[in-house]
Chains A and B, each alone.
Chain A
Amino acid sequence: MKAIVWFGMCCLYGLSFSVAHALTSQQVHDIVSGETDTRIESLQKTLAQADAQTAVFLQALADDAVLVAGQQVLIVRDNKATDAVTNQETALPAGAENVVSNNRMRGEIDSALAALQLLSPDDALRMKAAQALLSEPDPSKKILLEKAIAAEKNPAVSQLLLLAQAAIDITNNDAKVRLAAAKALGNSKTPNTQLLLNQQMTQETDAAVKAQMLASLADIKSALAWGERLGALFTGLSLGSILLLVALGLAITYGLMGVINMAHGELMMVGAYATYVVQAFFRKHMGGAFDYYLVAALPVAFLSAALVGALVERAVLRHLYGRPLETLLATWGISLILMQTVRTLFGAQNVGVENPSWMSGGVEVLVNLSLPWNRLFIVLFALLVLAGVALLISQTRLGLFVRGVTQNRAMASCMGVNTARIDTYAFALGSGIAGLAGCALSQIGNVGPDLGQGYIVDAFMVVVLGGVGQLAGTVYAALGLGVLNKWLEGWTGAVLAKIAVLVFIIIFIQKRPQGLFAMKGRSAEA
């Protein structure tokens, strides 16, 4: 009985072979059964002769909707079974088993589906498929690609397809083919092509091809250069905006009040952990509104850091005014206590803070320049905070009192200003801004007990460079240092760039000890 069925199937297969470009049941059967290696081989072979039904079948495979019952292969969707080859509805036979595909198989199925997009009626889909193939050339898709090129009517897609073919041809045995491919690839100004050419160049033996590769590489490089420059500028601005946030609080506590706060980094850490707590709360109790947790986290971070700051000021710093070196040591002690408290409460490991969905991803400005949304938002945020602080200091009564108290305490006190309370408010303001900085940092980096340690030296450098007494100095210094640091990184690597920046500041301070913007005339310190 079995032999008769088997013979019948062979005839059917023989018949199906005569229909050259249609999906055959033999093909289907080979793809769903046997070892993964043979299955993949069959898949590749089938691709070469693909048609619309192949796409349907492969999609079903990817969706795990394929069952096999004996020699029959069925696709089951919504409890309706269709034959995989003919696409006719049939009854679901008993004993049908699911087709299982391992990861490798899945990968092959996915890439086959992608390649099939090359033949899709939709222009946009074809374009996408061509780009994908160009970034990751796959020699096994060569035949399919040639078919697509032959059938392509759209000139833009056609160009991409030709480039994709060149990307495959670059590994051809024939030197002439490689030469032509190298030349063609010069038109693809993407980092992926750059990488491909670089990789192939190390294995290239033919001198002419090599020369052409170099020429193409130079072309691509000059096109990408702008992207790289702007990219460096943006990361510099991003770092600068972070430094600005970090240093702004310090500029208030040191610049206006003369208090050196070595615990400033830890106040940032408090803000970051406050954000973490808010995030956990939202996740647990308000899952639906998770994306808006930042809106609640900002005031919580500000207030928690401000409260800690106020506490520190009242308990410790109040008794140390006029003694800057002692203040330095006492605040270092506070930083140790804060760090150890957080370690005890939350553990010594980093904790995870996720971006809300509207901050994930980025906007692609150029081929090789993608600006992440979270960093863009932080730049904006830093500017907003700066504007807020400037307005507060210059336009409000509180700001006036703060300025008065810091310039002439005795006189302000005679005028009825409660200097002790103003001190607390001012320090709390500076600490609160540190908390906001911590909240911002939690969005782009790790949150752990030593979050503050990484930024404290930079923050002090900004204040020292910018000069005290004016916010403008802090702004220029922060942005300038951020850009300088990132620009140097491109040349010397991160560590040496940081060292170079520190050395630069030390030398700059020799020439101009008062910093960029300093208060002239008879000041208290002079």
Chain B
Amino acid sequence: MKTITLPQPVRLLSPLGWTVFIGILLAVGVLVPVLNLWVPVGHALHMSDFAVSLIGKIMCYAMCALAMDLIWGYTGILSLGHGLFFALGGYAMGMYLMRQIGTDGNYKSELPDFMVFLDWKTLPWHWYFSDSFIATLLLVVLAPGLLALVFGYFAFRSRIKGVYFSIITQAMTFAFMLLFFRNETGFGGNNGFTDFKRILGVPMATPAMRMLLFVLTGMCLLGCYLAARWLVQSKYGRVLQAIRDAESRVMFSGYSPLPYKLSIWVISAMICGVAGALYVPQVGIINPSEMSPANSIEIAIWAAVGGRATLIGPIVGAFMVNGAKSWLTVVAPEYWLFVLGALFIAVTLYMPQGVLGVFIHIKKRLKRSHGESS
């Protein structure tokens, strides 16, 4: 019997991959702080505060796109409600930041401004631990995670799939948006939270703090990327792809899809929650419109534009789409929605594998022609 050499277990990243990774790590952690804080303003290489905050914001979006790739690209579950998990993480951090304002608000009261405005005398129960940073960090992960667990358990257990599932996630985020718009819910109503002053006692509006948040976001993004890559390359990742391609076959091979779907759904929700928590201090505001169905659908388009089931693609897609949005909404704001709508159509019709798919296609073509010619 001829011995067959089985493929070796894949490494996390190839040597080239590690080089690029380290490069980006250094760029985020060292280069950008230098360019922004040390290089003087007006110098050609100076990186403006605006650029820093924009890129920081887009990195948070990129984390959401990564999370979307895990459940849509690899598991085939299109969620139109991931913006909800993002917003929940953001609100958790927002509560902490509101408490950190302390007595420096408009009403000079221990309670946040909006509560004084509503004539409330004490903190509601869901604000009890919001002055503890540790508790907030836990809540940032647990709130979206628990919601995802409950929702996912009931949805996947009754084998709701495909478009029905997508529509129900949209209904879920819509319902929460309505809930958070109410003043009585105790989350600031349609104004949300804003006017933050401090984190952990340190003032927020300084360049140093902004840079710290930026670097932190970058590290989280890179970390999530590595973790996602490890997941996807393991047998677990292959089972997910099998569930995406042929769920009944997977069942007949002995795998129960429910724990797999549920676990990746919760992981994806938690990543979005962390992204939201990093987003809020950088933009300085959170309100219920973050939970609108439109926001969640945009996350899906970032993943689709970049290229599903590649992990890098959605990150690239998030940067591309949001970059275009930032540019167009300044230059020609009335055209942005046309471009976005056209993007949805063009990507689904002509680029189902996304931008990365086009690259890979071209690379294959080149390799083939090289192979033929040589």
Answer yes or no: B78 CB below 8 A from chain A CBs.
yes
Contact of B157 among A260, A326, A495, A510 (CB under 8 A): A510
Q: Is the CB of A511 within 8 A of B158?
A: yes
B163: which A residues are within 8 A, CB to CB? Answer: 260, 324-325, 328
Q: Is the CB of B182 within 8 A of A495?
A: yes
Q: Is the CB of A510 within 8 A of B155?
A: yes
A513: which B residues are within 8 A, CB to CB? Answer: 158-160, 164
B171: which A residues are within 8 A, CB to CB? Answer: 457, 460-461, 502, 505-506
A499: which B residues are within 8 A, CB to CB? Answer: 175, 178-179
Q: Is the CB of B168 within 8 A of A509?
A: yes
Answer yes or no: B242 CB below 8 A from chain A CBs.
no
Answer yes or no: A8 CB below 8 A from chain B CBs.
no
Q: Is the CB of B348 within 8 A of A337?
A: no
Q: Is the CB of A502 within 8 A of B345?
A: no
Given A325-B162, A503-B175, the answer on whether A330 and B337 have CB atoms closer than 8 Å is no
Q: Is the CB of A330 within 8 A of B344?
A: yes
**Residue picked from A320, A328, A503, most chain B C-beta under 10 Å:** A328
A506: which B residues are within 8 A, CB to CB? Answer: 154-155, 168, 171-172
Bound form: Cα–Cα A337–B338 in Å = 5
Q: Is the CB of A334 within 8 A of B174?
A: no
Q: Is the CB of A460 within 8 A of B178?
A: no
Q: Is the CB of A336 within 8 A of B159?
A: no
A464: which B residues are within 8 A, CB to CB? Answer: 164, 167-168
Answer yes or no: A332 CB below 8 A from chain B CBs.
yes
Bound form: Cα–Cα A324–B340 in Å = 20
Given A457-B293, A513-B160, the answer on whether A329 and B301 have CB atoms closer than 8 Å is yes
Q: Is the CB of A336 within 8 A of B300?
A: no
Residues of A within 8 A of B (CB-CB), count:
39
Which A residues between 328 and 372 are near B, CB-CB below 8 angstroms? 328-330, 332-337, 339-340, 343-344
Answer yes or no: A2 CB below 8 A from chain B CBs.
no
Bound form: Cα–Cα A499–B179 in Å = 7
Answer yes or no: A498 CB below 8 A from chain B CBs.
yes
Mostly, the A contact residues are helix
B168: which A residues are within 8 A, CB to CB? Answer: 464, 505-506, 509
Answer yes or no: B352 CB below 8 A from chain A CBs.
yes
B348: which A residues are within 8 A, CB to CB? Answer: 320, 323, 326-327, 329-330, 333
Answer yes or no: B166 CB below 8 A from chain A CBs.
yes
Q: Is the CB of B166 within 8 A of A328?
A: yes
Answer yes or no: B119 CB below 8 A from chain A CBs.
no
Q: Is the CB of A340 within 8 A of B154?
A: no
A324 CB, nearest partner CB in chain B, Å: 5
B297: which A residues are within 8 A, CB to CB? Answer: 329, 332
Q: Is the CB of B174 within 8 A of A333?
A: no
Chain B, residue nearest A514 (CB): B164
Chain A, residue nearest B176 (CB): A499
B293: which A residues are within 8 A, CB to CB? Answer: 457
Answer yes or no: A319 CB below 8 A from chain B CBs.
yes
Q: Is the CB of A340 within 8 A of B349?
A: no
Chain B, residue nearest A512 (CB): B158
Contact of A509 among B80, B164, B179, B345 (CB under 8 A): B164
Contact of A336 among B160, B304, B340, B352 (CB under 8 A): B340
**Residue picked from A320, A502, A505, most chain B C-beta under 10 Å:** A502
A336: which B residues are within 8 A, CB to CB? Answer: 337-338, 340-341, 344
Bound form: Cα–Cα A336–B335 in Å = 11
Contact of A340 among B78, B167, B300, B341 (CB under 8 A): B341
B343: which A residues are within 8 A, CB to CB? Answer: 333
Q: Is the CB of A337 within 8 A of B341?
A: yes
Contact of A344 among B80, B162, B178, B334 (CB under 8 A): B334
Bound form: Cα–Cα A316–B345 in Å = 7
Q: 1/0 contact trace for A451-471 toward B, CB 8 Å?
A: 000000100110010000000
Answer yes or no: B100 CB below 8 A from chain A CBs.
no
Bound form: Cα–Cα A499–B168 in Å = 13
Bound form: Cα–Cα A472–B228 in Å = 46
Bound form: Cα–Cα A277–B155 in Å = 45
Answer yes or no: B181 CB below 8 A from chain A CBs.
yes
**Residue picked from B293, B334, B343, B349, most chain A C-beta under 10 Å:** B349
B21 CB, nearest partner CB in chain A, Å: 31
Bound form: Cα–Cα A260–B334 in Å = 27
Q: Is the CB of A319 within 8 A of B78?
A: no
B345: which A residues are within 8 A, CB to CB? Answer: 316, 330, 333-334
Q: Is the CB of A325 within 8 A of B166?
A: yes
Which B residues between 334 and 360 are near A, CB-CB below 8 angstroms? 334, 337-338, 340-345, 347-349, 352
Answer yes or no: B170 CB below 8 A from chain A CBs.
yes
B293 CB, nearest partner CB in chain A, Å: 7
Q: Is the CB of A340 within 8 A of B179?
A: no
Bound form: Cα–Cα A431–B342 in Å = 20
Bound form: Cα–Cα A457–B343 in Å = 23
Bound form: Cα–Cα A327–B163 in Å = 10
Q: Is the CB of B178 within 8 A of A498?
A: yes
B23 CB, nearest partner CB in chain A, Å: 33
Chain A, residue nearest B347 (CB): A329
**Besides A332-B344, A336-B344, A460-B167, 9 other A-B contacts (C-beta < 8 A):** A316-B345, A329-B348, A330-B348, A498-B175, A499-B178, A503-B175, A507-B154, A510-B158, A510-B160
Can you list 26 pairs linking A and B with CB atoms under 8 Å apart? A260-B163, A260-B167, A316-B345, A323-B348, A325-B166, A326-B352, A328-B166, A329-B344, A329-B347, A330-B345, A332-B344, A333-B348, A334-B345, A336-B337, A337-B337, A343-B334, A457-B174, A464-B164, A502-B171, A505-B168, A505-B171, A506-B168, A506-B171, A509-B168, A511-B158, A525-B162
List of 4 A-B pairs having minimum Cβ-Cβ separation, nearest first? A333-B344, A336-B341, A337-B341, A340-B337
